[in-house]
Amino acid sequence: MSKSIKLEIKPKWDEIEKIRNKSSQFLKSRGFSKDMVQAFTMVISELVENSIKYGKFRSPGNKVLVEILVGANNVIVEVSNPIDQSDLKNLKALDKTIQWIRGFQNPLEAYTERLNVVSKKPLKDESSGLGLVRVAYEGKAILDFFVSDNSLLNVSALAKC
Ligand SMILES: Nc1ncnc2c1ncn2[C@@H]1O[C@H](COP(=O)(O)OP(=O)(O)OP(=O)(O)O)[C@@H](O)[C@H]1O
Ligand SMILES: [Mg+2]
């Protein structure tokens, strides 16, 4: 049985459900518990949402790529999207968020701190900045990212199992 699956979607909100269904089917078929399937599907959704929201899809063929890899003791998801290298603002925010989460021994502390900030923000503020910290806390996942030569941003999350 294959230990990995590659999926791709158009950068559209209604494609997220497709990824959620295929990912949870794959994880279930590889024997993961119901809780793990639920938690890791949330992780995948958050990363895919970010790809759709922040990716720069300039040509019609540009897609969001998702790869799930099952190891002996862990499961990894890698989500890629094209970026515009002149748009450093989001890359810096991504880097800052991941470094900030790593600074906490327990991701619950990061989550609580972020919730506190969010509760004080005006309602019209559309970005809560909770996605990645939720991945770390609820998904118990370790986040990382890199930019490849062909201007693809690859964000990964690794959870022990
Ligand atoms: N795929 C990505 N490409 C570029 N920038 C990203 C990407 N994912 C995250 N970021 C940057 O990292 C920041 C933090 O992401 P995070 O998911 O935690 O919060 P958010 O997307 O702003 O809010 P929420 O997920 O709660 O809607 C984003 O605001 C964005 O600037
Ligand atoms: Mg997000």
Q: Encode pLDDT of 129-157 as tens digits.
A: 999 999 999 999 999 999 998 889 999 99
Give yes or no for residue 82 having a pLDDT over 90.
yes
Six-digit token string for 105 = 């021994």
Strands of the sheet with 64-70, listed across from one edge:
4-9, 64-70, 74-82, 152-160, 141-147
Six-digit token string for 40 = 């890791």
Residue nearest to atom 1 of ligand 1 (CA): 51
Q: Which residue has the tokens 């990912």?
A: 23
What's the gap in Å between 91 CA and the centre of ligand 2? 13
**Residue 94: partners with Cβ closer than 8 Å, 6 or more residues away:** 132, 145, 153, 155
Q: Name the H helices within the chain.
A: 16-29, 34-54, 88-102, 107-119, 131-137
Amino acid in position 24: S
Q: Encode pLDDT of 86-115 as tens digits.
A: 889 999 999 999 999 999 999 999 999 999
Q: Encode pLDDT of 3-51 as tens digits.
A: 999 999 999 999 999 999 999 999 999 999 999 999 999 999 999 999 9
44 or 127, greater pLDDT: 44
Ligand nearest the Cα atom of residue 135: 1
Ligand nearest the Cα atom of residue 118: 1
Which of 87, 132, 143, 151 gets mutated to test ligand 1 (max ligand atoms within 8 A of its CB)?
132
| pLDDT score at 91 | 95
Residue nearest to atom 8 of ligand 1 (CA): 50
Dist. CA 122–CA 135, nearest whole Å = 23
Dihedral over Cα of 157, 149, 13, 90: its sign: positive
Dist. CA 45–CA 59, nearest whole Å = 23
Dist. CA 41–CA 82, nearest whole Å = 22
pLDDT band at 52 (very low <50, low <70, confident <90, very high): very high
Give mean pLDDT, residues 126-130. 84
| pLDDT score at 150 | 85
Atom of ligand 1 lying closest to residue 90 CA = 31
Ligand nearest the Cα atom of residue 151: 1
Cα-based angle 116, 121, 123 (whole degrees, multiple of 5) = 125
List ligand 1's pocket residues with C-beta within 6 A.
50-51, 54, 81, 90, 93-94, 97, 127-132, 153, 155
Amino acid in position 110: A
Give yes or no for residue 128 having a pLDDT over 90.
no
Which residues are near ligand 2, the ion (C-beta closer than 5 Å)? 50, 131
What's the gap in Å between 1 CA and the centre of ligand 2? 32
| pLDDT score at 103 | 97
| pLDDT score at 85 | 77
Structural domains of the chain, ranges and CATH numbers in brackets: 4-160 (3.30.565.10)
